[in-house]
Amino acid sequence: MKFYHYPHCPFCQRVRLALAYKGVEYEDIVVSYADIDTPTSLIGVKMLPIIDFGDGTVMAESLDLVAELDRRFPDPALYFSETNADLAWASRAIMSIPGWFDVTLPHYLEAYADFGEFDEAGTKYFQEGKEAKRDVTFEQLKAVAPERYEATIRPALAAIAEKLNEGFVGESFSAADCVLAADMFGITLVPGIELPAGIKNYIESVEGVCGETLL
């Protein structure tokens, strides 16, 4: 089984946590962010994560992959009777926060500089593409990050922390935690901000349960 991913990517990190939690052995393939040919040859578009299960099945989309891993490797389970509702909430909890990626994106390049995805070409592709989409430079985003964090992100994270049930989204560890912890991880890379109580501990707890560090 081959796992194609970007180490920084929260969608890829969701799958990494699931793979680690289940103890699945796989070939780890880090793809340069500038590499268009590899993902396109597998699924027709430049998108990761991708798993080639080795039986003719090649899949993308993080939530589909987590569900497929749970089907193929059912023990320990990631889905329970209440998981779908928890997963629906977790999958939009972070991605719907205004300004989230404006604050986190510039710091991925520094944090993951030695992981292979951000080689010279990958760094250029990532930074130029993200800056063009926002019509602002990474340095400008860094300059306004503390203000944006306090205005929208910190209050949203505090509300999320209050929903966590003794360390998990639901009554026990589930696919929803793979999603929420991965999606939140990027904020821990931003210097000079104060995370709400419990957020950093939650992420570290999920990493510990899975036996996988996201950085």
Q: Tens of pLDDT along 128-160?
A: 999 999 999 999 999 999 999 999 999 999 999
pLDDT tops 90 at residue 62 = yes
Domain ranges of the chain: 2-72, 83-209
This prediction has a pTM of 0.96
2-72 and 83-209: identical CATH topology = no
DSSP track, 101-156: HHHHHHHHHHHTTTSSTTSHHHHHHHHHHHHHHHTS-HHHHHHHHHHHIIIIIHHH
Calculate the CA dihedral of residues 39, 42, 43, 47 and round it to 10 degrees: -20
DSSP track, 163-197: H-BTTBSSSS--HHHHHHHHHHHGGGG-TT--PPT
pLDDT (average), residues 98-116: 96
Class of domain 2-72: alpha beta
State the architecture of 83-209 in CATH terms. Up-down Bundle (1.20)
Residue 79's pLDDT is: 95
Find the angle CA(179)-CA(171)-CA(75) to the nearest 5 degrees: 70
